[in-house]
Structure 1
Amino acid sequence: MPFQYQSDIPGGLNSMDLRRFWHPRTLLALGALALTVVIVACGGAATTPATTGDTSGGGGSAPQQAAATPTLNPFAGVVEPTPTAPLNVAPTAVPVPTAVVAIDQRPDWWQEGEAQHYRGDFPLVATSNPGFWDVHYGGSMNTVLIPSGPRFNQILEYNPVNPNEIIGDLAVSWEFYEDGSEVGYVFNLHPDATFSDGHPVEAEDVAFSIDRITLGQVEEGVLRARTGFLNNFVVHGTAEAIDAKTVKIPLRFPAAGFLPNLASDYMKVYPKHVGENLTQEQANTGKTQAEALTAINAGSPDSLIGSGPWMLREWEKDSGYSYDANPTYFKEGRPFFDGLKIFLIRDTARRLSALQAGQVYGSYQPVTGSNRPEDMARLEEDTNGRVRAVILEASGVQAFFLNHQKPPFDDPRVRRAMYLGIDRDNAVEKAILGFGQPGTFFAPGVVEDLEALRANNAAYGDREAALAEARQLLTEAGYPDGFEITHNVVNSNPSLSTAETVAPQLREDLNINIKIQPTDLATMYVGLRDGVANFDGVGTGVILRDPGDIINQFYLQDVLRNPHNWQNDDVDELIKLQNEEVDPAIRQGHLEALADILHRGESHWLPVLWYSSGGAFDCRIKNYHYPPTVQLVKKWDHVWWAGGEASACDHSANADRGYRP
């Protein structure tokens, strides 16, 4: 029998109360607490999931030992934290931790995690098959970054225990320099960092990786979906190894946005001795660590490896993938599990059942739009707090992609008619049950003011006027009776629920008939890239709330989310101006002018709503701190399992809801 929620919880919250209590605006206190570096022990007596593994050292008893990781039967029945402030670009050294931390000087959380090391495979659940394995190339969190990213490191990273702070990852120190007209950064690398084949991580690898990311400057058709933003700052071929552990990266101009973007989880460092021998197709191939090493040792590399905390052990489409901990990881003692076992369950009810039954301990992403916040909140109630909801507000944007090279969207009047015709408030209420807000081109409140849009833009306020103009535009474009289109859309929420909400609304209001063709995420992205449909739909989690992230993903050329290279001269000029401007007020003016152009509704990308993303952790998972956005802190090298029973996590009459670190 499919897993179903009842409309009321006996003796608890009814469905309306649940929605009100869990609405992200009620989670301000949760967000503040979650960003504090606090370790909360959970022990006592409640149901202990039957899985393998044990924790050695102090800190509570482990789950019951089993012969092997359980076979999962997939058919078994906050206010977002303040975004990182712009970094000072003055030519002074940026303070960072000491290069090599002595064992007795490591932070308390690091030592505690090591003491709680989990023996065996830790079971988690994800929603999507891997797609492209090259993190420089691919743009999907769920199909690229989530399965492939933990194999690698960046130069910098967002601090996993204080995610509003940028710290060194491979770099142990860095400084801004000025040399005549040249400006840039010099990075010093960790002396003990090695790739998983034993080769040291050196400055040549960093320079190679920067050149690989910016390769589109000198070669046609190079896709860099979420890393291409570096092209705004770095000229291809200028990154330089000064010595084995020192690399210089010159910039086009002093740029406050360079370091925040360089710390993104997508800006991975690849081994030059492997990567320079790979075709793009080979880089996108998901070979296991054993297969990759065999090819490397034979002198014919055919897939990527990294320096990160995890090595791919195996993966099987529609089933799952697993990792082994990297035994030579330079962050000694991490990660805090022998291995990770990721089960793929697309169906929401089955995924919830696996979490509720304790067959898996949490969501691997950890948060994604496919895990609806209302479902995660209900799961916490149903487990009396053993499984805790993880919710980030307005963390992703659900949008439609209009193929401007195919009729009817090759006509800008039709694109504007769609912009005017969509009822965004209706989509928020029905598709995501109010856990979000109407779609704007930039992150909520950063550039556009929603109330001003409601007052001055018919698409957000005056439905009657918006529909009247849309009908007139369709008539002028030769579609007085509407038209029919196919919709290539992800077969999970909120993408599918948005399509199923907007399609009947547009049919009723504008006689636009949308034939919905749902598919898995990886296949959807291939279809988007190749233009198999004239109307695509997928949600996107922003990397940074800074407007440059949206520009990078949707309005540069040769990026995944601008697959047919929509372009506007005024947009290009404003992108250039805001990139180069260091005065925040002047830059904001450029961005507001850019938003005004986009709200003409003639581009290829049509935001419908901003949605909140959800996930769930067993309360005994420790040290996950809510990141500023859904795309950050993805290595799983700082989280541990506290063990013990779960009764201390049970809800009392006045217990706070939600996950605590």
Structure 2
Amino acid sequence: MAEGHNDHGGTIMTRFRSFMLLLMIISVVPTPSAAQTPSPDGQTFTFPWPPDWVARGRYQKMVLRGITGFNPGQWDVHACGTLPDCLMPASPQFNGLVYHNPVNPDEIVCDLCESWTVSRDGKTYTFQLRQAQWHDGQPVTAEDIKFSLDRITEPQAIRVRTGVLRAFYEHQSAQVIDARTIRVPIKFASPLFLENIASEYMKMYPKHVAQNLSPEDAQKPGKLIGSGPWKLKEFKPNISIEYVRNPNYFKKGLPYFDGMSFTIVRDYNRRLAAMQVGQAHTTEGPTIGSYGSEDPMRMQRETKGRVRAIYIPEAVQNYLVLHMNKPPFQDPRVRRAVFLAVDRHELVKIVRCADPFGCFGSVGTFLPNKGGKIVESPEDLAQAKGWRRPKDQDLAEAKTLMAAAGYANGFKAMLNLGNVPLAVRTGEVLAEQLRKSLGIDLTLEPVDRATQVDRIIRGTHHASMDSSGVIILDPADYLNQHFLVIGGQKNPDSWRNPRLSEIIQAQAKELEPLKRLRLFKEAVEILRGGESHVVPLVWGYSGGMMDYRLQNFHVPGSEQIVKHFEHIWWDPEAPLPRN
């Protein structure tokens, strides 16, 4: 069944951060649980295969049956920016250089590598690769890793969720030492380098295949191949996504099924019914924002524990994108008016709370309070414009701004949004708020996820309602997603603020926690000016459902990690847990 995080008494990354902070001061560091070898050149972290949990797994001659509501629209994870219609269908085919330990997701461990060595100044990483092969039988080499790092950081290329790597890695600077060794210099010492390349979007591609694909061809199913646990067998649009087990997977013993088949069902209630009657073993992901409501908990109750509810708190932000490529949102006064007028507390109460299950969300903020770093506290929000209650002062200022911009009586606008129930309900409540407070008449146009994203990128509507899952468990994550990368889904009209850009660069280099927190707070003050393209709405839970016989799934801190299905197995003799 789904399990919570196993605390091993301190993760590798916790100790690694300590190592980074002490690099310049002392030469002796604590020994983490992974094999570690100190040397004059730095510190080596080694990850032998297999870890203990592999032997506990049970291979079953069966196909894992999943259900998804999304038709994949993109397959190149370097370029795309969406979880349900890109990362989830693509990820099982690929490996990263490093990744989040699937049985202890707070840890970062080797994936394609078997060890890494970090230099004493923290500015050079040397990775030793495992003996692995691509799906076509060709060996994975250091040349492929260098190619992938350079492809991700290619100048001017659209890199929605991987563009952050440019802040750490200089394009074409990696050195191939031999077929299985690569040296990667970074621009400055930072523990965030490993956290970012552990992202599921930072997959490694075979040079001999990917270098021959245009950006358009790379987005087509089956054009890119990987080294991962699953091979794409067939994608039938609007019907199914099917995978077969990689028989030559370099992680011996994995995966534990012959194949996976995800049926595409657009209707939300039909997906719930499929889980209820046992037609599907798991939802996609298995965690995603569209199930971040009371429904998984209700399903667990109604099936008496056969279907287990899985939740990640505060994992997904719903927000507005105000498109600046056309009136009226090219005017910063109108953008600020909308930012002030939104009643986030009401949105949570109406959309995210349900008796007797409680609430599955909180008021939206600009930055996630993750990794033990609280940037926007409840006490702070209680006094902040846009969040404080009652709303009288904020609404008065918003109306003044609208009048100054020439829209005292409001205006009509089109809102692009997804068609899942949570999104539609949020859009309905938001539209009513803006109609009552500012006279803005929003027409909602809900569509499937792929179409919604395409509309955002092209700026076809006045505004779009979107969602974004946390990738790395650090407040910098949303600065990187929405404001570091210019263009693409998260910043389609290339909004930027010079001081904010400086802060984003500075916080990545800052190793002193209090100084870094001050930089985050300064960034928030800039964004609370309300002139950017982003209007935070609500933080939501990521949710999902799994049959109780699926074992070894450990709930991660982000819905964007552990998406490869290589580690879970089916135990037909598992006892039915108490509901």
Q: TM-score, normalised by structure 2?
A: 0.91
- Return closer, same or farther for 1:133/1:458 CA change in 2, 3 Å cut-off: closer
Q: Does 1:203 align with 2:142?
A: yes
Counterparts of 2:408 and 2:46, CA distance in 1: 63
Counterparts of 1:602 and 1:504, CA distance in 2: 22
Q: Does 1:95 align with 2:37?
A: no
Residue equivalent to 1:124: 66
Counterparts of 2:182 and 2:488, CA distance in 1: 27
Q: Map of 1:48-127 to 2, 5 A cutoff?
A: 85=14, 87=17, 88-89=19-20, 90=23, 92-98=42-48, 101=49, 106-113=50-57, 116-127=58-69
Residue equivalent to 1:344: 264
Deviations 1:363-398 (A, max 9, x none): 121111111330000000000011110011111000
Residue equivalent to 2:132: 193
State which of 530, 546, 550 in structure 2 corresponds to 1:617.
546
Counterparts of 1:327 and 1:236, CA distance in 2: 34
Q: Does 1:376 align with 2:296?
A: yes
Q: Does 1:240 align with 2:175?
A: yes
Does the CA contact (< 8 Å) of 1:136 and 1:224 recur in 2? yes
Q: Deviation at 1:649?
A: 2.4
Q: Map of 1:272-421 to 2, 5 A cutoff?
A: 272-287=207-222, 303-421=223-341
- Return closer, same or farther for 1:528/1:452 CA change in 2, 3 Å cut-off: same
Percent identity over the alignment is 38
Q: Larger deviation: 149-158 or 540-549? A: 540-549
Instruction: State the AA in 1 paired with 2:43.
Output: A
Tell me the secondary structure at the aligned position of residue 373 of structure 1.
Answer: coil
Counterparts of 1:458 and 1:517, CA distance in 2: 26
Does the CA contact (< 8 Å) of 2:322 and 2:534 recur in 1? yes
State which of 481, 497, 510 in structure 2 corresponds to 1:568.
497
Q: Deviation at 1:139?
A: 0.8
Q: Map of 1:124-163 to 2, 5 A cutoff?
A: 124-163=66-105
Q: Does 1:436 align with 2:361?
A: yes
Counterparts of 2:564 and 2:470, CA distance in 1: 18
Deviations 1:199-240 (A, max 9, x none): 111000000000000002xxx3x1101111101101111012
Counterparts of 2:560 and 2:260, CA distance in 1: 20
Q: Deviation at 1:109?
A: 2.5
Counterparts of 1:83 and 1:463, CA distance in 2: 46
Where does the alignment leave 5 or more consecutive residues of structure 2 unmatched? Answer: 24-40, 354-358
Instruction: State the AA in 2 paired with 1:509.
Output: S
Q: Deviation at 1:156?
A: 0.3
Does the CA contact (< 8 Å) of 1:553 and 1:559 recur in 2? no
Q: Does 1:466 align with 2:394?
A: yes
Residue equivalent to 1:297: none
State which of 429, 435, 440 in structure 2 corresponds to 1:512.
440
Residue equivalent to 1:268: 203
Tell me the secondary structure at the aligned position of residue 431 of structure 2.
Answer: helix
Q: Deviation at 1:601?
A: 0.9
Residue equivalent to 2:187: 252
Residue equivalent to 2:28: none
Tell me the secondary structure at the aligned position of residue 606 of structure 1.
Answer: strand
Q: Deviation at 1:184?
A: 1.6
Q: Does 1:640 align with 2:579?
A: no
Instruction: State the AA in 2 paired with 1:134.
Output: D
Instruction: State the AA in 2 paired with 1:421.
Output: A
Counterparts of 1:446 and 1:248, CA distance in 2: 35
- Return closer, same or farther for 1:459/1:649 CA change in 2, 3 Å cut-off: closer
Q: Deviation at 1:446?
A: 2.9
Instruction: State the AA in 2 paired with 1:588.
Output: L
Q: Deviation at 1:82?
A: 11
Q: Deviation at 1:458?
A: 4.7
Does the CA contact (< 8 Å) of 1:372 and 1:493 recur in 2? no
Counterparts of 2:459 and 2:120, CA distance in 1: 45
Q: Does 1:538 align with 2:466?
A: yes
Deviations 1:551-591 (A, max 9, x none): 22100223430111101111111112112212121111111
Counterparts of 1:384 and 1:142, CA distance in 2: 28
Counterparts of 1:406 and 1:495, CA distance in 2: 24
Instruction: State the AA in 1 paired with 2:553.
Output: Y
State which of 345, 367, 378 in structure 2 corresponds to 1:425.
345
State which of 545, 554, 568 in structure 1 corresponds to 2:482.
554
Q: Deviation at 1:198?
A: 0.7
Residue equivalent to 2:512: 583
Instruction: State the AA in 2 paired with 1:340.
Output: M
Instruction: State the AA in 2 paired with 1:450.
Output: P
- Return closer, same or farther for 1:456/1:552 CA change in 2, 3 Å cut-off: closer
- Return closer, same or farther for 1:176/1:419 CA change in 2, 3 Å cut-off: same
Q: Deviation at 1:349?
A: 1.2
Tell me the secondary structure at the aligned position of residue 573 of structure 2.
Answer: coil
Instruction: State the AA in 1 paired with 2:571.
Output: A
Instruction: State the AA in 2 paired with 1:174.
Output: W
Q: Does 1:34 align with 2:4?
A: yes
Instruction: State the AA in 2 paired with 1:649.
Output: P
Q: Deviation at 1:84?
A: 6.2
Counterparts of 2:489 and 2:113, CA distance in 1: 29
Counterparts of 2:92 and 2:506, CA distance in 1: 35
Instruction: State the AA in 1 paired with 2:204.
Output: V
Does the CA contact (< 8 Å) of 2:11 and 2:107 recur in 1? no
Deviations 1:117-168 (A, max 9, x none): 1213211111211111000000101111100111110000110001111110
Instruction: State the AA in 1 paired with 2:80.
Output: G
Does the CA contact (< 8 Å) of 1:83 and 1:544 recur in 2? no
Does the CA contact (< 8 Å) of 1:506 and 1:512 recur in 2? yes
State which of 420, 426, 439 in structure 2 corresponds to 1:498.
426
Deviations 1:390-439 (A, max 9, x none): 01111100001011221111011000000000010111111222311111
Q: TM-score, normalised by structure 1?
A: 0.80
Q: Deviation at 1:108?
A: 4.2
Does the CA contact (< 8 Å) of 2:318 and 2:466 recur in 1? yes
Counterparts of 2:366 and 2:279, CA distance in 1: 40
Does the CA contact (< 8 Å) of 1:136 and 1:266 recur in 2? yes
Counterparts of 1:504 and 1:633, CA distance in 2: 38
Instruction: State the AA in 2 paired with 1:311.
Output: K
Counterparts of 1:310 and 1:458, CA distance in 2: 46
Counterparts of 1:380 and 1:457, CA distance in 2: 40
Tell me the secondary structure at the aligned position of residue 633 of structure 1.
Answer: coil
- In angstroms, what is the RMSD of aligned CA positions? 2.0
Deviations 1:508-557 (A, max 9, x none): 11111100000000111111001111200121111112122112210022
Deviations 1:448-495 (A, max 9, x none): 112212124354333011100000000000000001110110111432
- Return closer, same or farther for 1:167/1:84 CA change in 2, 3 Å cut-off: closer
Counterparts of 2:552 and 2:61, CA distance in 1: 18
Does the CA contact (< 8 Å) of 1:125 and 1:360 recur in 2? yes
Counterparts of 1:84 and 1:535, CA distance in 2: 39
Does the CA contact (< 8 Å) of 2:340 and 2:395 recur in 1? yes
Counterparts of 2:232 and 2:552, CA distance in 1: 23
Counterparts of 2:532 and 2:454, CA distance in 1: 21
Tell me the secondary structure at the aligned position of residue 117 of structure 1.
Answer: coil
Aligned residues: 548
